[in-house]
Amino acid sequence: MSAAHCFSSDTTSRWQVSLGRQNLQGNNSNEVSTTVARIILHPNYDSVTNNNDIALLRLSSPVNFTDYIRPVCLAASDSVFSNGTDSWVTGWGAVKEGVSLPFPETLQEVELSVLGNSQCDCLNGVGTVTDNMICAGVLAGGKDSCQGDSGGPMVNQQGSVWVQSGIVSFGFGCARPNLPGVYSRVSICQSWINSHISSDKPGFVQFTSSGLDADSSYTCPGPPPSTTTSSTTRPSTTQILTSPARAVCGNAPMNSRALGDSGVVPGGTWPWMVSLHKNGVYTCGGTLIAERFVLTSAQCVSTSNPDVSEWSVFFGQHLVDGSEEFEMSLGVVNITVSNMTDSNIALLQLTKPVSFKDHIQPVCMDVSASRTFPVGSRCWVAGWENGSKSFSTDKAGSGLRDLETQVASCGDLSDSENICTYTMDLQQGDQGSPLLCKSDSSWFQVAVVTMSGSKSVRADVQVFAKTSRFGSLLKETVGDMPSPEVAATGNAAGFSISLFLYFVVPVTSVFLLSGS
Ligand code: 4AZ
């Protein structure tokens, strides 16, 4: 049993399962390895919400049980895990955010307490935790599962028997205070698991917790935690562009996106989003990066000699909820395309400068590559997923959407050239859209979505070329760019014990951004 998000498909050929293993490096005298005959992903697994994040692997041949290799019991459907239930999580994942387990990568364990679903949902952002999930952690932070622990178990002891209650699934960062980790709830899946195993079914055990479950009466205290600056915490910042003063970038005064928010976005949320139309047809997303420049993917302009007269740029999208209304549009006088080896960008120079308002603002560009976006940082992609459809006469549900993700480790790939995130369901219409991450109090566009085939780190990780790669072209073409508001904010980092998944993962596999 593992997590569905560990698998990009049900293709078994590159997978191997190791059992009885203690270290990932060196010899393990008790180890047995086997290949996989079938990968069964939960049919209702949702990669956006992580709901039903469970998979079953049928091994190619039965394994013999030893003192080192034994099956765990599974929590039966009528199990109860009350707030505070003692739990253990094991794995070979990162020992804290962005820090992998040191040589020889010995299996780690951490003791955590179950946290009730209502409280966990309040803490992680209302709507993130479903009944198919179970949470555990310590509110003070410092102990958690982390990247690479996914698919591994959370177990609870009842008498002399260990019962698996959860599968490591997701969390915001690792070991941060008040952000408990989220696990797939095994007990909910009893009938689904049994339906795929005909003989030698797992041992389901009813787990019962003593004591009252305080969670059933829990309600969120105050407003849910917000990761973005809202107009209530900062005065509205309408920038007037009188030279020589530089405009401020990366301010989104109307943005109230909170942790876990993904989907159709209210007007003004991402004030730098523009939509690019070629001969009147929606073609790509783009971003306003200066009063006269828009950034998009080179693939959107495709031809080497683009005709500027075909293009128009729409600003101030979606001010009226539920309809596609734009504040205004402008033409293009010049298109500059970068000339690097894999991903490329295009810069569209506008016919006249745009005046910034609360809902029309430039995003920050890290031209000098001085910003870091550590593993676990929350980032968003905003875009019009199936663009051309969105701009048809059918206006229902056709607005700008966004997807939340987290920065993941790029493995062996250069961190200065690339940024890696957990896989999102990107569509063709997202081409040219930004990957947006906050640094201090400003929003930065860290990458442009392109639909080209891409490198891979792990099956659940997407690689983007950092926009800072194009720093010199940006400076040359755009000149002085708006700069972020100066702010000093500290970053708290906790310690977590490390865990990683049970399988020896092929470290490189070809990953293609979905272009369907
Ligand atoms: C991960 O990326 C991951 N703190 C797993 C668990 C948690 C965070 C990240 C929970 O595999």
Contacts of 223 (CB under 8 A, 6+ apart): none
Q: Is the pLDDT of residue 317 over 50?
A: yes
H-only helix segments in 375-468:
387-390
Q: Is the pLDDT of residue 372 over 60?
A: yes
* Ligand 1 binding pocket includes 460 (Cβ within 6 Å): no
From the candidates 42, 53, 121, 184, give the one annotated as an active-site residue: 53
Q: How far is the CA of 376 from the centre of ligand 1 (A)?
A: 9
Number of H helices, E strands in the chain: 5, 30
Pairing of strands 73-75, 204-205: parallel
Look-up of token digits 């990568």? 105
Identify the burial level of 433 via C-beta atoms within 10 angstroms of its C-beta, where 0-12 means exposed, 13-18 middle and 19 or more buried: buried
Which residue has the least CA distance to atom 3 on ligand 1? Answer: 147
- Cβ atoms of 278 and 310 within 8 Å: the answer is yes
CA distances from 398 to 262, 272, 278, 385, 449 (A): 15, 19, 19, 9, 20
Which of 194-198, 236-240, 326-330 ranks highest by mean pLDDT? 194-198
- Cβ atoms of 287 and 272 within 8 Å: the answer is yes
Catalytic residue check, 53: yes
Confidence (pLDDT) at 386: 60
Q: How far is the CA of 169 from the centre of ligand 1 (A)?
A: 6
CA distance 215 to 187: 18
- Atom nearest to 175 CA in ligand 1: 4
* Ligand 1 binding pocket includes 147 (Cβ within 6 Å): yes
* Ligand 1 binding pocket includes 181 (Cβ within 6 Å): yes
Which of 218-227, 315-324, 479-488 ranks highest by mean pLDDT? 479-488
Token pair, residue 478, equals 């755009």
Mean pLDDT of the chain: 83
Please state the separation of Cα 261 from the chain's center in Å: 11
Confidence (pLDDT) at 452: 66
Please state the separation of Cα 332 from the chain's center in Å: 33
Q: 475 in helix, strand or coil? A: helix
Question: pLDDT, tens digit, for every residue of 410-466?
Answer: 888 888 888 999 988 888 788 899 999 999 889 999 999 987 665 677 778 888 889
Q: Is the pLDDT of residue 514 over 50?
A: no
Confidence (pLDDT) at 217: 81
Comparing 83-92, 183-192, 448-457, which segment has the lowest mean pLDDT? 448-457
Q: 265 in helix, strand or coil? A: coil
* Ligand 1 binding pocket includes 53 (Cβ within 6 Å): no
Q: How far is the CA of 396 from the centre of ligand 1 (A)?
A: 35
* Ligand 1 binding pocket includes 343 (Cβ within 6 Å): no
User: What would the mean pLDDT of 400-409 be, rounded to a whole number?
Assistant: 89
From the candidates 2, 100, 145, 150, give the one annotated as an active-site residue: 150
* Ligand 1 binding pocket includes 135 (Cβ within 6 Å): no
Question: pLDDT, tens digit, for every residue of 217-230?
Answer: 888 876 433 444 33
Q: What is the CATH number of domain 248-484?
A: 2.40.10.10
Comparing 99-103, 156-160, 276-280, which segment has the lowest mean pLDDT? 276-280
Calculate the CA dihedral of residues 274, 279, 283, 289 and round it to 10 degrees. -30
- Atom nearest to 144 CA in ligand 1: 4
Confidence (pLDDT) at 448: 93
Q: How far is the CA of 146 from the centre of ligand 1 (A)?
A: 4
* Ligand 1 binding pocket includes 150 (Cβ within 6 Å): yes
Q: Is the pLDDT of residue 281 over 90?
A: no
Q: 4 in helix, strand or coil? A: helix
Q: Is the pLDDT of residue 395 over 90?
A: no
Strand partners, 161: 158
* Assigned CATH class of 4-240+495-514: mainly beta
Catalytic residue check, 150: yes
CA distances from 107 to 100, 110, 511 (A): 12, 10, 28
Q: How far is the CA of 205 from the centre of ligand 1 (A)?
A: 27
* Nearest alpha carbon to residue 499 among 26, 33, 99: 99
Domain layout of the chain by residue ranges:
4-240+495-514, 248-484
pTM: 0.49
Token pair, residue 305, equals 């000699």
User: What would the mean pLDDT of 55-75 be, rounded to a whole number?
Assistant: 97
Q: How far is the CA of 439 from the centre of ligand 1 (A)?
A: 21
* Ligand 1 binding pocket includes 356 (Cβ within 6 Å): no
Token pair, residue 283, equals 């073609």
Catalytic residue check, 42: no
